[in-house]
Amino acid sequence: MRILFIGDVIGKPGRDVVAAELAGLRDRLALDIVIANGENAAHGFGLTQAIAREYFAMGIDVITTGNHWADQKEILSFIDEDDRILRPHNYPKGTPGRGANLYQTRKGERILVVNVMGRVFMDALDDPFAGVEAELAACPLGDTADAIVIDMHAEATSEKMGMGHFCDGRASLVVGTHSHVPTADAQILPGGTAYQTDAGACADYDSVIGMDKFQPLQRFVTKMSSGRFTPATGPATLCAVFVETGARGLATRIEPVRLGGRLKQTVPVL
């Protein structure tokens, strides 16, 4: 199976670069499924129904989220109705939406996608490791699922790496989101799980993690806030991770993808 995981899409510049590049990537990489983190899609904070529909129309199959998943309150009215949108699994019982789901590709292959959120330097949610363990036990790789992807939305690189090793040999891909900067550690772990600490953001990188520089600098320099963060509006880079799986759903290949904007360009060659 060929999987593309797209990192946090930041506002309209991020959406625009994904719209411009994704169709070509689907053909070029013969992709079976595309997953994207959409928690920053609506002007940098949250996800609206209109933007979710825009994502699906451009070829995204599953949307994961993170700590900003409910910033746009309208999501509470539609997240239960669309199983292609996930919020972090380890929110308390009774929270609208779902944190994991089994999907079927156009070829009939089954892929489990799990979205969890870290707890180090973030909200004190339920244990993400216990949540992932329950999903892996209920839907084992190579049995109920042909592939498994875990979006670990977390601040601490150590917690993300811990999740990678925790799932090694039991998932196809563990990928981090939330930091908005692509890391240079794409690898296949000893047990066969593809891993990257952060997929990066689809954003203008002449920014502070995708946001216009003025407000973040004001806060760093003066310790005062004079306005709301807004996405930087220059040309954006699409940042993603490409994974190919083989026997029993384990990874045979992982490579970063970067297209457009300021960052050095890289696209896998089949």
pLDDT tens-digit map of 68-106? 999 999 999 999 999 999 999 999 999 999 999 999 999
* pLDDT value for 24: 97
- Quick check: 247 pLDDT over 90? no
> pLDDT above 70 covers what percent of the chain?
100
Give the pLDDT band (50/70/90) at residue 1.
very high
- Quick check: 184 pLDDT over 90? yes
* pLDDT value for 36: 98
- Quick check: 228 pLDDT over 90? no
Give the pLDDT band (50/70/90) at residue 225.
confident
- Quick check: 53 pLDDT over 90? yes
* pLDDT value for 73: 95
* pLDDT value for 226: 79
pTM beyond cutoff 0.85: yes
CATH code assigned to 2-259 = 3.60.21.10
- Quick check: 227 pLDDT over 90? no
80's CB contacts (< 8 A; 6+ apart) are 96, 97
Per-residue 3-state assignment (H helix, E strand, C coil) for the chain = CEEEEECCECHHHHHHHHHHHHHHHHHHCCCCEEEEECCCCCCCCCCCHHHHHHHHHHCCCEEECCCCCCCCHHHHHCCCCCCCECCCCCCCCCCCCCCEEEEECCCCCEEEEEEEECCCCCCCCCCHHHHHHHHHHHCCECCCECEEEEEEECCCHHHHHHHHHHHCCCCCEEEEECCCCCCCCCEECCCCCEEECCCCCEECCCCECCECCHHHHHHHHHCCCCCCCCECCCCCEEEEEEEEECHHHCEEEEEEEEECCCCCCECCCC
The answer to whether 8 and 37 are in contact (CB under 8 A) is: yes
Active site residue 68: yes
The domain segmentation of the chain, as residue ranges, is 2-259
Rg of the chain over Cα atoms, rounded to whole angstroms, equals 17
- Quick check: 224 pLDDT over 90? no
Of 68, 89, 178, 180, catalytic = 68
Considering only CA atoms, which of 80, 119, 110, 155 is closest in space to residue 1?
110
Q: Chain-wide mean pLDDT for the chain? A: 96
* pLDDT value for 108: 95
pLDDT tens for 107-163 read 999 999 999 999 999 999 999 999 999 999 999 999 999 999 999 999 999 999 999
